[in-house]
Chains A and B, each alone.
Chain A
């Protein structure tokens, strides 16, 4: 049975040093990188045949809907469940995301990327669950745009590849900007829209984007993130007069 050669960058605790570990896995048709990691879980032996603690990783849906299994595979940031090993050159290298704090092995702390959603007030003005009425139906164009933006699964690939998203910068990142943009076209006449735009023009917002465009290339759902940001910058210029 053919074998796959895997190298995984491991780390035992947040403070510990990272190290690489080699594995040899039996190949099965249709295997994804998740299948590889699950195979190690079932039989946690490294390439030298030594018993090791299984590689720890985050995953949930295994159909690229939950955004949890994002990692760097052969140097590219991808969701492990959607990557077939047959498309990868060997040895296959698997590393955690670099922009987020490693907790253990391939698990990183991603909640820091959700925080900007609070700062940007990424929610609609809401009177409560009382039955106050129905919102107007979206127009076709807004509905289509909203549909595209709503395919975001919060995998944070866009943040991983963005040169401006890091510990030293306050930049909120493409994911938060796209999320806010999605809200701002709600036909109900969203009363927080200008408050959000104001925040976006503040430190860490739109103008911290350097127009590099890596986000759009990395997005597994093909959301036109860069185009959205450019559009918002135009809106902002208009607003400022």
Chain B
């Protein structure tokens, strides 16, 4: 098929990259999104970009970079894929410079490579505090130029409802809901690329956008797309909590020499510098969580309001606070009233990344023909922990290659969505109209927003930094209870115009299903690895579990198996951050 019909779901950095690749190949794209691009998750990220080309780091190389990332992933990396990704870091850097991103420079106006977690060498570039936003806006601009040429049609304010498949089970379209008037429509497609991001909002303290509940991923999972690695939920010890959410300023702050300490007996204990002399404040955050839990044996000390850990930048030269630290300082002051120029800030734990997602093969295709996944919506490249300087690489690389592979797939198609009988589309539309009607008519006593709060509390308590069999079992039971109570909800708004309560209820159902997958996979993985830490199985077990989890939807409960991963480059290293 020469000109497949393409829909990209999600207009964040990964979806934009996929869109650009399709458009420059001459293939028209419909870019569907719930929110405008400028509000995507990247707009709030202060992460940097990894590039192993620091002339001052004589020992750095592509090989060391790959080894560091596989080590951070605690061995759980599909090595060949990850090697292809890390080999692309130079290319992505060059692309971003051409898109107008000004990376910070030294006094001689050369690239200033800074430190980041998970490495001993300085190999990370920052374009000021707002690298994520600059990258996002740059990609958004390129897509706009393609809109002008008629190659991209942007459809914002649409919520994904369901995938439509032909009799042969391959993709032929999707149904979407207009958020304004709640109208349902179907869009025919031969290729759907899911670039809908992560699902951090199913946890209590997280740094994700409000819509990041994983709704699209959840629906696709319920429709038969397998998930992978759902048990890996990454938290950062370095988040600032407000009543409305958590700010993750750690990546940028660490790059400028921030230090973690704990106050004990009136003295400052720089616990990372003391216990991890090789990596100091740049150990991966899961190692920080594990160290703190092993010492204090109290989950609440890590995740609660109790200020245990402090983050300090006040020792840095004053000029920095007028220069590179100015934006960070203003942001922290605005939201927490702390002034980092003069005092340390109390920090605690928040979920920053969900490493699981749609299971894809080496060609970014899920087990549903024609359905591809990229960025955080997929599981690929992230392993058991992903250092923050990898996020843009993963997003852009996977977006580009998902589009490339999708076109390869389409070239092998003889028939497409156009040959599917109209009744298939009409039937799905009718089904979803009924589902909406059912939800609007529910007349119970339960409040969806309160149910979601309960879910978040349970997931944070039992399925983030520290887990065990008993806790996971209780969480699994709780989710089943919440699912039953969901059937007795009543929407606080039953109108037909911009009904956020209906949208919310659908997201809640999606979250319950994903939560079940997270808990089931966490139970099945009887070992500890990366950000998955089980007190009842505290050691890494490569013999049984050097594999990715694979989760299939079943109405009786998620079915978890483990699948081999590629180990062809190096022997999976053990962490030696001390």
Binding site for B on A (CB under 8 A): 12-13, 28, 30-32, 34-35, 38, 41-42, 44, 51, 53-54, 56, 59-68, 81-82, 103-105, 107, 110-111, 114, 117-118, 121-124, 126-129, 131-135, 137-140, 142-143, 146-147, 150-151, 153-154, 182-183, 186, 188
Q: How far is the CA of A144 from the CA of B32 in the complex (A)?
A: 35
Find the residue from A35, A117, A131 having the highest chain B CB count within 10 A.
A131
Given contacts A61-B245, A129-B21, A137-B103, 11 further A-B contacts (CB under 8 A): A28-B243, A32-B244, A42-B449, A60-B39, A64-B334, A67-B39, A118-B147, A132-B98, A137-B102, A146-B102, A147-B102
Q: By the criterion CB–CB under 8 Å, are A123 and B144 in contact?
A: yes
Which residues 242-282 of B sit at the A interface, judged by CB distance below 8 A?
Answer: 242-245, 247
Given A35-B243, A150-B133: A65 touches B44 (CB 8 Å cut-off) = yes
Which residues 106-146 of B sit at the A interface, judged by CB distance below 8 A?
Answer: 109-111, 127-128, 130, 133-134, 137, 141-142, 144-145
Q: By the criterion CB–CB under 8 Å, are A126 and B133 in contact?
A: no
Given A62-B244, A117-B144: A124 touches B98 (CB 8 Å cut-off) = yes
Q: By the criterion CB–CB under 8 Å, are A126 and B145 in contact?
A: yes
Q: How far is the CA of A127 from the CA of B99 in the complex (A)?
A: 10
Smallest Cβ distance from A144 to chain B, in angstroms?
A: 9
Q: By the criterion CB–CB under 8 Å, are B141 and A123 in contact?
A: yes
Q: By the criterion CB–CB under 8 Å, are A65 and B133 in contact?
A: yes
Q: How far is the CA of A171 from the CA of B498 in the complex (A)?
A: 30
Given A68-B39, A103-B180, A137-B110: A63 touches B44 (CB 8 Å cut-off) = yes
B362 interfacial contact with A, CB 8 Å: no
Given A137-B109, A142-B102, A150-B130: A67 touches B141 (CB 8 Å cut-off) = no
Closest 4 CB pairs of A and B: A65-B44, A62-B245, A123-B141, A66-B39
Residue of B nearest to A31 (CB): B243
Q: How far is the CA of A65 from the CA of B244 in the complex (A)?
A: 14
Q: How far is the CA of A134 from the CA of B94 in the complex (A)?
A: 5
Q: How far is the CA of A63 from the CA of B46 in the complex (A)?
A: 12
B43 interfacial contact with A, CB 8 Å: yes
Smallest Cβ distance from A159 to chain B, in angstroms?
A: 14
Q: By the criterion CB–CB under 8 Å, are B148 and A111 in contact?
A: no
Binding site for A on B (CB under 8 A): 20-21, 24, 35-36, 38-40, 43-44, 91, 93-95, 97-100, 102-105, 109-111, 127-128, 130, 133-134, 137, 141-142, 144-145, 147-148, 156, 180, 209-211, 242-245, 247, 327, 331, 334-335, 400, 447, 449-450, 453, 492-493, 495, 497-498, 500-501
Q: By the criterion CB–CB under 8 Å, are A118 and B244 in contact?
A: no
Given A66-B209, A111-B156, A135-B97: A35 touches B38 (CB 8 Å cut-off) = no
Q: By the criterion CB–CB under 8 Å, are B98 and A114 in contact?
A: no
B500: chain A residues at CB < 8 Å are: 54, 56
A53: chain B residues at CB < 8 Å are: 492-493, 495, 501
Given A82-B334, A122-B141: A131 touches B91 (CB 8 Å cut-off) = yes
Find the residue from B133, B142, B501 having the highest chain A CB count within 10 A.
B133
Q: By the criterion CB–CB under 8 Å, are B98 and A126 in contact?
A: yes
Smallest Cβ distance from B182 to chain A, in angstroms?
A: 12
Q: By the criterion CB–CB under 8 Å, are A35 and B244 in contact?
A: yes
Find the residue from B40, B245, B331 having the highest chain A CB count within 10 A.
B245
Q: How many A-B residue pairs have CB under 8 A?
A: 168
A111: chain B residues at CB < 8 Å are: 36, 156
B450: chain A residues at CB < 8 Å are: 42
Q: List 27 A-B contacts (CB under 8 A).
A: A12-B497, A32-B244, A42-B453, A53-B492, A53-B495, A54-B492, A59-B210, A63-B335, A64-B331, A65-B130, A65-B133, A103-B498, A107-B498, A118-B148, A131-B94, A134-B93, A135-B97, A137-B103, A137-B109, A137-B110, A143-B104, A146-B100, A147-B130, A150-B127, A151-B133, A154-B36, A186-B100
Given A126-B142, A134-B98, A143-B105: A63 touches B493 (CB 8 Å cut-off) = no
B447: chain A residues at CB < 8 Å are: 42
Q: How far is the CA of A104 from the CA of B501 in the complex (A)?
A: 13
A142: chain B residues at CB < 8 Å are: 102
Q: How far is the CA of A140 from the CA of B95 in the complex (A)?
A: 20
A contacts with B: majority SS: loop
Smallest Cβ distance from A134 to chain B, in angstroms?
A: 4
Find the residue from B100, B134, B142, B242 having the highest chain A CB count within 10 A.
B100
Q: By the criterion CB–CB under 8 Å, are A60 and B35 in contact?
A: yes
Q: How far is the CA of A124 from the CA of B500 in the complex (A)?
A: 37
Q: How far is the CA of A151 from the CA of B133 in the complex (A)?
A: 8
B210: chain A residues at CB < 8 Å are: 59-62
Residue of B nearest to A79 (CB): B334
Which one, B134, B145, B147, B209, contacts A150 given CB within 8 A?
Answer: B134
Q: How far is the CA of A110 from the CA of B156 in the complex (A)?
A: 11
Q: How far is the CA of A124 from the CA of B245 in the complex (A)?
A: 35
Q: How far is the CA of A53 from the CA of B500 in the complex (A)?
A: 10
Q: How far is the CA of A231 from the CA of B333 in the complex (A)?
A: 31
Q: By the criterion CB–CB under 8 Å, are B141 and A124 in contact?
A: yes
Smallest Cβ distance from B19 to chain A, in angstroms?
A: 11
Q: By the criterion CB–CB under 8 Å, are B109 and A66 in contact?
A: no
Q: How far is the CA of A86 from the CA of B137 in the complex (A)?
A: 34
Q: By the criterion CB–CB under 8 Å, are A150 and B128 in contact?
A: yes
Residue of B nearest to A124 (CB): B100
A56: chain B residues at CB < 8 Å are: 498, 500
Which one, A51, A54, A66, A134, contacts B43 given CB within 8 A?
Answer: A66
Q: By the criterion CB–CB under 8 Å, are B492 and A66 in contact?
A: no
Q: By the criterion CB–CB under 8 Å, are B498 and A129 in contact?
A: no
A182: chain B residues at CB < 8 Å are: 100
Q: How far is the CA of A81 from the CA of B331 in the complex (A)?
A: 12
Smallest Cβ distance from A135 to chain B, in angstroms?
A: 4
Q: By the criterion CB–CB under 8 Å, are B247 and A63 in contact?
A: yes
Which one, B98, B134, B145, B247, contacts A188 given CB within 8 A?
Answer: B98
Smallest Cβ distance from A66 to chain B, in angstroms?
A: 4
Q: How far is the CA of A117 from the CA of B37 in the complex (A)?
A: 14
Smallest Cβ distance from A1 to chain B, in angstroms?
A: 15
Residue of A nearest to B99 (CB): A124
Smallest Cβ distance from A98 to chain B, in angstroms?
A: 19
Q: How far is the CA of A142 from the CA of B127 in the complex (A)?
A: 13
Smallest Cβ distance from B340 to chain A, in angstroms?
A: 15
Residue of B nearest to A61 (CB): B44
Residue of B nearest to A59 (CB): B210
A139: chain B residues at CB < 8 Å are: 109
Q: How far is the CA of A188 from the CA of B96 in the complex (A)?
A: 12
Smallest Cβ distance from B2 to chain A, in angstroms?
A: 20
A12: chain B residues at CB < 8 Å are: 495, 497
A64: chain B residues at CB < 8 Å are: 331, 334-335
Which one, B44, B91, B103, B137, contacts A66 given CB within 8 A?
Answer: B44
Q: How far is the CA of A50 from the CA of B10 in the complex (A)?
A: 38
Q: By the criterion CB–CB under 8 Å, are B144 and A122 in contact?
A: yes
Q: By the criterion CB–CB under 8 Å, are B39 and A61 in contact?
A: yes
Q: By the criterion CB–CB under 8 Å, are B145 and A123 in contact?
A: yes
A110: chain B residues at CB < 8 Å are: 36
Smallest Cβ distance from A173 to chain B, in angstroms?
A: 15
Q: By the criterion CB–CB under 8 Å, are A140 and B105 in contact?
A: yes
Which one, A28, A63, A118, A151, contacts B245 given CB within 8 A?
Answer: A63
Smallest Cβ distance from B347 to chain A, in angstroms?
A: 15
A151: chain B residues at CB < 8 Å are: 130, 133, 327
